[in-house]
Amino acid sequence: MTRKHPRTPAALVLADGRIFRGEAFGAQGQTLGEAVFTTAMTGYQETMTDPSYHRQIVVATAPHIGNTGWNDEDSESHGDKIWIAGLVVRDLSHTVSNWRANRSLEEEMRAQNIIGIQGVDTRAIVRHLRDKGSVAAGLFSGEELPSQEEMLATVREQPTMAGADLAGDVSTDDVYVVDPEGETRYTVVAYDMGIKTNTPREFIKRGVRTVVVPSDTPFERVQELLEEYQGQGVFVSNGPGDPATADVTVAQVRKVLGAKIPFFGICFGNQILGRALGMDTYKLKFGHRGTNVPVLNHVTGTIDITAQNHGFALAGEPMAEFDTDFGPARVTHTCLNDGTVEGVALTNGLAFSVQYHPESAAGPHDANPLFDDFIRMLDGAKAPGASI
């Protein structure tokens, strides 16, 4: 694909007053969100369709984006929806060079009305966000951009990410079931806080049927589904927004723990479990987003390179042990970059969670065995597994 016409002007406007001007691509107009950056070198399609990025304008640190195009297999949202609010890149590839591509990145962005800006110094933007933290932002594009004052006023008027209850925006409205192709060994009810497509795929590889339910599903309904499908466990997925707003889901997970039903959580699910155990959450300065984040397992002493996408975290100390309403618990994992809590577990082996993404789409596969640990838990093991 070659450029057929001159690009129109565009601007990335940060609420603190910084403005980065470049050229528009994708759809045109304006979009608002929180400016964040991802350090992933690959996997822009998986990033853009991850519901955890809802209401976020994503800055790619990789300088060249779009060369592998867009395919019909790698989207991570139910229905292949792009969830990011906008995309910021240094260089947009003008050709697509991948045998799996069905169309270009820009064609898909236009089809889904996603606004992008290219030709900006993404290194400068990322350094600014690391220094100042993730901030409210807006992308504006068109032949005639609003004035600087008008753009800043629009950006500053948007709601903040702190206190944002977004899981309901991205969650399924109806229950749906993902069945294994072969024998069904177990059934798990999965709370969809923004579940990625590859998570049920990892379950069905292991013979686990996944019954996906809305984020506000009452525990009583979960019990009915477990009985209907002869289910054994409960899972809470990744998702966007402030975990401090997820009181409804936290209350349901407390009932799950009280009923001694095996539990596994990822990302937002880690924060939900932590809150159910009595831990607090807080907003990170600029979050963890990428596919190269080192995490230390304090139980085994091993280190995994992980895929992550979160702007909030649990407050705690490495290997801290604490009492809960459901028995003793401990912090099991922390991030080697900044000491952030990356995993918690009940010491009785009936519940564990991690802040990162073992479904690995995109990203390294170091943490993929956590799904096997959950299977061992369902098998009746006393602990989630040696790798927890």
Residue 124, domain CATH = 3.50.30.20
Mark whether 191 and 266 lie in a shared domain. Answer: yes
| Ligand-binding site membership of 25 (annotated) | no
* Same domain flag for 56 and 180: no
Q: pLDDT at position 181, please?
A: 86
* pLDDT for the residue 5: 58
pLDDT at 4: 52
Residues 367 and 294 in one domain: yes
Alpha carbon distance 252, 8 (integer Å): 49
- Token output for 311: 């702007």
Any domain includes 142: yes
311 labelled ligand-binding: yes
pLDDT tens-digit readout, 240-254: 999 999 999 999 999
Q: What is the pLDDT of residue 194?
A: 97
Report, as ranges of residue numbers, the positions in the chain whose pLDDT lies below 50: 1-3, 381-388
| Gyration radius of the chain over CA positions | 21
Cα–Cα–Cα angle for 258, 262, 264, rounded to 5 degrees: 110
The CATH code of the domain that includes 354 is 3.40.50.880
Say if residues 186 and 207 touch (Cβ distance below 8 Å).
Answer: yes
Q: Among 156, 191, 216, which residue terminates a domain?
A: 156
Distance CA 167, CA 241 (A): 7
Decide: pTM greater than 0.85.
Answer: yes
Q: Are residues 234 and 334 in the same domain?
A: yes
Whether 267 is a known active-site residue: answer yes
Domain stop point among 132, 156, 180: 156
- Is-catalytic flag, 227? no
Whether 225 and 350 share a structural domain: yes
Burial (CB count <10 Å: 0-12, 13-18, 19+), residue 75: buried
CB atoms within 10 A of CB 339: 13
What pLDDT, on the 0 to 100 scale, is given for residue 380?
A: 82
**84 near 59, Cβ under 8 Å?**
no
Q: Binding site annotation covers 268? A: yes
Q: What is the pLDDT of residue 386?
A: 35
pLDDT at 382: 37
CA distance linking residue 129 with residue 190, whole number of Å = 34
Task: Indicate whether 385 belongs to any domain.
Answer: no
DSSP state of 7: P
In the structure encoding, which two tokens stand for residue 139, read together?
Answer: 């992308």
Identify the domain containing residue 307 by its residue range: 167-378
Residues 6+ apart with CB under 8 A from 246: 165, 167, 193, 215, 268, 271, 272, 275
Question: In terms of domains, do 176 and 232 share one?
Answer: yes
52 marked ligand binding residue:
yes
The set of residues, in sequence order, having a beta carbon less than 8 Å from that of 251 and lying 6+ positions away, is 219
CA atoms within 13 Å, Cβ hemisphere of 338? 13
Ligand-binding site membership of 312 (annotated): yes
Cβ atoms of residues 224 and 267 within 8 Å:
no
Residue 385 token pair = 């597994």
> How many whole angstroms separate alpha carbon 222 and alpha carbon 309?
27
Catalytic residue, chosen from 108, 202, 342, 359, is 359
Specify the pLDDT at position 182.
87
Residue 207 lies in a domain: yes
Asked if residue 386 belongs to a domain, the reply is no
Q: Are residues 62 and 127 in the same domain?
A: yes
User: Is residue 171 domain-shared with residue 148, that is, in the same domain?
Assistant: no
Q: How many domains does the chain have?
A: 2
Tell whether 387 is covered by a domain.
no
Whole-number Å distance between alpha carbons of 2 and 358: 38
How far apart are alpha carbons 94 and 161 in whole angstroms?
34
- 205 & 59 share domain: no
Strands of the chain, DSSP E: 9-14, 19-26, 30-38, 56-60, 64-65, 86-88, 91-92, 115-118, 135-141, 176-178, 186-191, 208-213, 233-236, 263-266, 281-297, 303-314, 321-324, 327-335, 341-346, 351-354
Max alpha carbon distance in the chain (Å)?
A: 65
Same domain, 268 and 288: yes
Backbone angles phi, psi at 134, to 5 degrees: -60, 135
Q: Is residue 261 part of a domain?
A: yes
Q: Give the distance, in angstroms, between the CA of residue 316 and the centroid of all CA atoms in the same chain.
A: 21
**pLDDT score, position 328:** 98
Whether residues 118 and 265 share a domain: the answer is no
**Which tokens sit at 190?**
């999965």
Residue 170: phi, psi to the nearest 5? Answer: -105, -15
Is 56 a known ligand-binding residue?
no
Q: Is 233 annotated as a binding residue?
A: no
**What's the pLDDT score for residue 342?**
98
Same domain, yes or no, for 173 and 140? no
Q: Name the residue among 301, 287, 309 with its Cα closest to residue 354.
A: 309
pLDDT at residue 385 in the model: 38
Rounded CA gap, 169 and 192, in Å? Answer: 11
Q: Active-site residue among 34, 108, 267, 288?
A: 267
Q: Is 383 a member of any domain?
A: no
**Domain contains 388:** no
Are 83 and 50 a contacting pair, CB within 8 Å? Answer: yes
Last residue of a domain, one of 110, 137, 156: 156
